[in-house]
């Protein structure tokens, strides 16, 4: 479905990031909107992502505006002027690597808390007619989920690491700005996202790289090393589709879980990848907490709310095959 009736301007923070560039691609194909990408291009930002999904140089020039800015600093008058009028904000810019947050938590406080506060203040002071501000949070704010538990949107927080805690803090700032200043906030909690052009340290591209090179992959498991961790993986294209869905049908002030089609154990996922590649999987199960303190064996969110509204993601099997085959032909991203 195409949304072309009104020409909007959307600000995407972290547009050169993994999820952000998929959102840019989706909006270019499904709308006639103008996109402003705000990015500082550091650890995970890569303009080659945007270049690859906007192969038509005229399309890039006409509909995508790229601005460099580090959100640890407030948006000054020059940056505000460059951004121009904005109808929607999708806030994805964040430090997002758990291991690095454990090593340097203050970096994540600055990026995810202070950065979010600066963006909210920009919206408060400059965007009086802003229609929606979508904050991308994470499933990690709820902490580990026992077997059979699926957290709903408004369940309590129990962050296991500084990354999740700073995302929870940013979420609370958003809610406070909605309550105090009537900023039209929507919060999403995303499960583990995968897709094309993902950072190679993430689980799925890491497994693909190890299988292709016949290397052993270490997979987190319980303390007895009998059962691997599990996640409900979702493709970045489904996140992009959900964003557009929520911009039109989401209610201001509400939270929504963006969940993959089914839960899957990481070992089972790795075996699926090896099968697609027609190669053997070399692996070893390791105690998840001893090897990576601050990590959770199982995350689980309820996707009932979005499903009731009429949105569902594509199957993990279909998406996984697409990504594996794409990486085989684009190994430069490993």
Tell me the three-class secondary structure of 108-130, residue by residue: HHHHHHHHHHHHHHHHHHHCCCC
Of 261, 260, 262, 280, the closest CA to residue 270 belongs to 280
Q: What is the pLDDT of residue 98?
A: 86
Return d(Cα 159, Cα 174) in angstroms, integer.
18
pLDDT at 300: 93
Question: Residue 103 — pLDDT band, cuts 50, 70, 90?
Answer: very high
Rounded average pLDDT over 276-297: 81
The two three-digit tokens of residue 99, written as one number: 């291991």
State whether the Cα torsion 202-268-222-138 is positive or negative.
positive
Whether 49 has a pLDDT exceeding 80, the answer reads: yes
163, 177, 256, 283: which is the annotated catalytic residue?
Answer: 163
CA distance 255 to 235: 20
Asked if the 9-196+233-261+300-313 domain carries CATH number 3.40.50.720, the reply is yes
pLDDT exceeds 70 at position 204: yes
Instruction: Give the model's confidence band at 293: pLDDT under 50 very low, under 70 low, under 90 confident, else very high.
Output: low
pLDDT for res 217: 96
Which of 45-49, 193-197, 243-247, 329-333 is predicted with the least confidence, judged by mean pLDDT?
45-49
Distance CA 2, CA 306 (A): 20
Whether 3 sits among the annotated catalytic residues: the reply is: no
- Domain locations along the chain: 9-196+233-261+300-313
Model pLDDT, residue 19: 96
Helices 162-181 and 115-126: angle between axes, nearest 10 degrees: 20
Residues pairing with 193 in the sheet: 234
- Confidence at residue 75, expressed as pLDDT on a 0 to 100 scale: 98
């Amino acid at each position: 479905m195409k949304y072309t009736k009104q020409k909007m301007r959307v600000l995407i923070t972290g547009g050169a990031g993994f999820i952000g560039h998929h959102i840019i691609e989706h909006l270019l194909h499904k709308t006639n909107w103008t996109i402003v990408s705000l990015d500082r291009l550091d650890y995970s930002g890569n303009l080659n992502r945007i270049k690859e999904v906007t192969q038509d140089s005229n399309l890039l020039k006409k509909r995508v505006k790229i601005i460099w800015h580090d959100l640890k600093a407030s948006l000054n008058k020059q940056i505000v002027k460059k951004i121009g009028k904005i109808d929607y904000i999708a806030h994805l810019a964040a430090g997002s690597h758990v291991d690095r947050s454990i090593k340097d938590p203050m970096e994540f406080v600055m990026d995810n808390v202070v950065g979010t506060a600066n963006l909210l203040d920009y919206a408060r002071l400059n965007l009086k007619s802003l229609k929606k501000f979508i904050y991308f949070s994470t499933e990690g704010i709820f902490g580990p989920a026992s077997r059979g538990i699926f957290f709903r949107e408004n369940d309590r927080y129990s962050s296991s690491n500084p990354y999740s805690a700073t995302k929870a803090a940013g979420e609370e700032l958003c809610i406070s700005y909605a309550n105090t200043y009537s900023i039209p906030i929507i919060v999403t909690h995303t499960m583990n996202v995968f897709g094309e052009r993902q950072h190679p340290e993430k689980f799925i591209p890491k497994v693909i790289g190890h299988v292709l090179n016949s290397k052993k992959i270490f997979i987190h498991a319980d303390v007895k090393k009998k059962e691997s961790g599990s996640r409900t993986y979702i493709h970045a294209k489904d996140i992009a589709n959900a964003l557009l869905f929520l911009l039109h049908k989401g209610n201001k002030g509400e939270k929504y879980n963006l969940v993959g089609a089914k839960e899957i154990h990481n070992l089972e996922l790795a075996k699926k990848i090896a099968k697609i590649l027609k190669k053997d999987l070399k692996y070893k199960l390791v105690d998840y907490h001893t090897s990576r303190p601050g990590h959770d064996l199982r995350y689980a969110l309820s996707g009932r709310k979005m499903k009731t509204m009429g949105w569902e993601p594509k199957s993990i099997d279909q998406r996984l095959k697409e990504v594996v085959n794409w990486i085989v032909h684009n190994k430069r991203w490993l």
